[in-house]
Amino acid sequence: MLKTIANAGRQVSEAEIRAFEKKNAVSLPRGYIEFLLNNNGGMPSPDEFPLVGHREDAADLQVFYRLDDGIEVSQLQYNFDFHREHFDDPAFLNLFPFATDSFGDPICFDLSEERYGAVVFIDLVPMWKDHSEKDLYVIAGSFTEFLEMLYEPEDDD
């Protein structure tokens, strides 16, 4: 379960979030909007989450993107635009990247009617040649559920 956020962004308003949604024609899950209002991105602790059905048992969450920030690659807009430019397979059209793991794999919301608000992990390693739905892993049914799944990794000692 999420305990702390380090390096959160500046305080943002609901109006700024709504403007972002309007500009990008997206409707973000309410739980995530609350998170942005309280934290506006940052580095979580704990930061591990399970990856059911993946060759790895777990992944880490390096950073939640910020509505705005001095570092371009940590901005929601930059990552939304990058996602739209590079993922043209229909399976990816309704995915909205809001975070990344330490390998650059996006963690996204599914904004489709069928799975609205579900949290999805995109495994980029097998995708260097093509993009396919087989590289998508549904992690949680909601942002709140995802935050509750975060845990501290055990030492390998």
Distance CA 74, CA 151 (A): 22
Residue 156 lies in a domain: no
**Is 155 within the bounds of a domain?**
no
Look-up of token digits 């305080």: 11
Q: Is residue 22 part of a domain?
A: yes
The answer to whether residue 10 sits within a structural domain is yes
In a domain, 157, yes or no: no
Report percent pLDDT > 90 for the chain: 63
Residue 103: give its domain's CATH number.
3.40.1580.10
Name which residue leads in pLDDT, 129 or 49.
49
- When pLDDT is averaged across residues 42-56 and rounded to a whole number, the result is 88
The 10s digit of each residue's pLDDT in 91-136 is 788 999 999 999 889 999 999 999 999 999 988 875 555 656 667 8
Which residue in 122, 123, 111, 117 sits closest to 146, CA to CA?
A: 117
pTM over 0.75: yes
Please give the mean pLDDT across all residues of the chain.
89
57, 129, 153 from 51: Cα distances, Å: 5, 22, 13
Report which of 109, 48, 98, 93 is spatially closest to residue 74, judged by C-alpha positions. 98
Domain hosting 47: range is 4-149
Q: Is residue 61 part of a domain?
A: yes
Residue 110 in domain: yes
- Residue 115 maps to a domain: yes
pLDDT value of position 135? 77
More confident residue, 132 or 153: 153
Residue 72's pLDDT band (cuts 50, 70, 90): confident
- Distance, in Å, from the CA atom of 147 to the CA atom of 151, rounded to the nearest integer, reads 9
On whether the CB atoms of residues 96 and 76 are closer than 8 A, the answer is no
Alpha helices in the chain (DSSP H): 14-24, 30-38, 76-86, 143-149
Using one digit for the tens of pLDDT, what is the confidence trace for 16-37? 999 999 999 999 999 999 999 9
Confidence of residue 68 (pLDDT cuts 50, 70, 90): confident
Q: Are 99 and 65 contacting, i.e. CB atoms less than 8 angstroms apart?
A: yes
Q: How many domains would you assign to the chain?
A: 1
